[in-house]
């Protein structure tokens, strides 16, 4: 009986190791983990080869949106939420750009709090780091992609990762880049961008309960046409 219990515990550990990512996280390898598209809106499409989810104007129109909702989450300590994302458009800087918005929906509230928003198109994957204040309430993360102007506008998410503790700085000298390094080719040039999520890539609302200076890192990772990141460069 005891041995059986130990074996089960070992198996559970192995399973946890295989899944690897903490609750509130998803690498979009084969599934969208606990994140589901909200039925009333466009679906986020999983690209299994590229390991990302996206919504684009090949199957939807300008102004339409896709909404992704996490399972119930808890953050009894300050936590760090990182998002690897990319917004693209065929038409330069359109007056009506695509938007990627991240909201927090607390269990006892009937409205969503906008925590972060980005609208600048880029040639690279970008990493946004957001500190989440500890709370005793359960909440869900809601990620909304709104398609803007452009024949080929698209919004893609490569990874969502929620970890306990404040966001650490992504620092190559300490051999880590926000914990994302393992998924990418080690023979690449890594540069750490000094930008802040409050720069031109994002718009932060003033009225929210979270720490006002959310994170401080914004990285850009170049990738090939197939969507596989090949290098990292500072975001502008």
Ligand X SMILES: *[C@@H]1O[C@H](CO)[C@@H](O)[C@H](O)[C@H]1NC(C)=O
| Residues making contact with ligand X (CB under 6 A) | 134-136
Nearer to ligand X, 20 or 77 (CB): 77
**Helix or strand or coil: residue 85?**
strand
Residue 100 backbone phi and psi in degrees, to 5:
-120, 115
Is the distance from CB of 62 to CB of 89 less than 8 angstroms?
no
Map tokens 């007056």 to a residue: 95
Nearer to ligand X, 86 or 135 (CB): 135
Nearer to ligand X, 78 or 191 (CB): 78
Q: State the Rg of the chain over Cα.
A: 18
Nearer to ligand X, 103 or 139 (CB): 139
Cα–Cα distance, 172 to 157 (Å, whole number): 23
Cα–Cα distance, 125 to 233 (Å, whole number): 10
DSSP-assigned letter for residue 173: G
Report the residue closest to ligand X, judged by CB.
134
Contacts of 220-224 spanning 24+ positions with Cβ under 8 A: 220/122, 220/123, 220/124, 220/125, 220/126, 220/193, 221/84, 221/124, 221/125, 221/126, 221/127, 221/184, 222/123, 222/124, 223/124, 223/125
Nearer to ligand X, 76 or 207 (CB): 76
Work out how close the CB of 137 gets to ligand X at its nearest, in angstroms, rounded to a whole number.
Answer: 8
Work out how close the CB of 209 gets to ligand X at its nearest, in angstroms, rounded to a whole number.
Answer: 9
Nearer to ligand X, 117 or 135 (CB): 135
**Helix or strand or coil: residue 3?**
helix
Cα–Cα distance, 47 to 28 (Å, whole number): 8
The secondary structure element, H or E, covering residue 125 is: strand 124-132
Nearer to ligand X, 134 or 152 (CB): 134
């Amino acid at each position: 009986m005891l041995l059986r219990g130990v074996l089960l515990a070992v198996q559970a550990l192995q399973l946890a190791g295989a899944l690897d990512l903490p609750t509130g996280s998803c690498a979009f390898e084969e599934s969208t983990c606990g994140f589901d598209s909200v039925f009333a809106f466009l679906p986020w499409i999983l690209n299994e080869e590229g390991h990302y989810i996206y919504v684009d104007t090949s199957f939807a129109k300008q102004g339409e949106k896709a909404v992704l909702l996490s399972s119930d989450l808890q953050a009894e300590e300050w936590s760090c939420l990182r998002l690897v994302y990319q917004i693209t458009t065929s038409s330069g800087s359109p007056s009506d750009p695509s938007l990627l918005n991240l909201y927090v929906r607390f269990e006892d509230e009937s409205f969503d709090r906008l925590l972060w928003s980005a609208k600048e198109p880029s040639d690279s994957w970008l990493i946004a780091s957001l500190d989440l204040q500890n709370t005793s309430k359960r909440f869900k993360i809601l990620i909304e992609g709104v398609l803007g102007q452009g024949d080929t506008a698209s919004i893609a998410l490569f990874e969502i990762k929620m970890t306990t503790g404040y966001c650490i700085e992504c620092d190559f000298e300490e051999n880590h880049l926000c914990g994302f390094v393992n998924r990418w080719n080690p023979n690449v040039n890594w540069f750490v961008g000094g930008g802040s999520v409050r720069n031109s890539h994002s718009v932060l609302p003033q009225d929210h309960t979270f720490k006002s200076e959310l994170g401080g890192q914004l990285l850009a990772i170049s990738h090939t046409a197939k969507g596989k990141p090949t290098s990292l460069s500072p975001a502008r």
